[in-house]
Amino acid sequence: MASERESFDLSGPLHLTHVDWDNPYHRKSVAASLVQGVYVLEKDRQERREGPDALASPWWVFFNFQLIRKLVDDVDSSIFGAIYEFKPPPTYCNDTLHRSPRYVIAFRGTITKADSVSRDIELDMHFVRNGLHQTSRYEIAIQAVRNMIATFGDSDIWLAGHSLGSAKKSLSSDPFAAISAWVPCLFVNPSDHICSEYVGYFEHRKKMEEIGAGSIERLATQNSLGCLLMGAFGKESEPIHLIPSASVTVNLTPSRDFKEAHGIHQWWKPHLHLQSKLYKY
């Protein structure tokens, strides 16, 4: 039986009947909805919901996107990502279209259902052990991104992900420098212990830069506390929070529990208490 959260009509951002692409809240809400579309695509597959019974399509159709490809894990056949194309109708009038994406590549996080939970948890563990890049799902995802950029360029393509779907991995020998020009938008809830370390990481690094820390201290700011602890126990790991620059938005709205603090639905709710900061390396 479908949950209320899978139905766009019951839990989606129905109030966004007109998207202002200059508005950060609108852009965030659309991106989160497209990621939710991937979650529901996989739920539709698991529950064998097809045709009029399928629930996924309103999550992108409402915003004039078309699904052009599903990204499927070759290990368990689960849908973990999707590529969308923005296709507004000819009569669509919007002065902010220059800020809209042409394509969005979206990745879901872990689903705690029998048909995919074992594979998702396995990849969660791979990520913690710094082995996500050695999985077939990673290879499928990165190849899809490379193909899209090679075909259409990178200026009109958005990448969006939640939880495990937002994990990144650089194969460069100097990964911090390799992505130094990248300024992603991070959305974090301080009650979400999985992602909240980003806040402390950037604030610590900012403080070290302000006081003119030496080379050793600056090197330490390129590592999260969790990675430093793993190193102390002799476990090699690329820093999980290794991002030189980012626009970090913190949701200060109280959450009832961890599930709500980590969930994707919070990011399109109206009247959120948000605090945003830009951290540049």
Q: How far apart are CA 168 and CA 241, in angstroms?
A: 9
Based on the domain organization, do 180 and 162 belong to the same domain? no
Per residue in 7-39, pLDDT (tens digit) is 999 999 999 999 999 999 999 999 999 999 999
Give me the domain span that covers residue 135: 1-169
Task: Report strand pairing: 246-251 vs 274-279.
Answer: antiparallel
pTM of the predicted protein model: 0.84
Q: How far apart are CA 122 and CA 276, in angstroms?
A: 33
* CB 249 within 8 Å of CB 28: yes
Position 256 scores a pLDDT of 92
Per residue in 185-217, pLDDT (tens digit) is 999 999 998 788 888 888 877 777 777 655 444
Q: How far is the CA of 154 from the CAs of 133, 151, 159, 250, in angstroms?
A: 22, 9, 10, 27
Based on the domain organization, do 83 and 201 belong to the same domain? no
Based on the domain organization, do 224 and 142 belong to the same domain? no
Per residue in 118-139, pLDDT (tens digit) is 555 555 454 444 545 567 888 8
Based on the domain organization, do 142 and 27 belong to the same domain? yes
- Domain count for the chain, please give it: 2
- Domain end: 169, 196, 231, which one? 169
Position 126 scores a pLDDT of 47
The pLDDT of 59-74, averaged and rounded, is 96
Based on the domain organization, do 175 and 53 belong to the same domain? no
- Domain end: 147, 169, 191, which one? 169
Q: How many residues does the chain have?
A: 281
Based on the domain organization, do 133 and 175 belong to the same domain? no
Based on the domain organization, do 163 and 177 belong to the same domain? no
- Domain end: 149, 169, 189, which one? 169
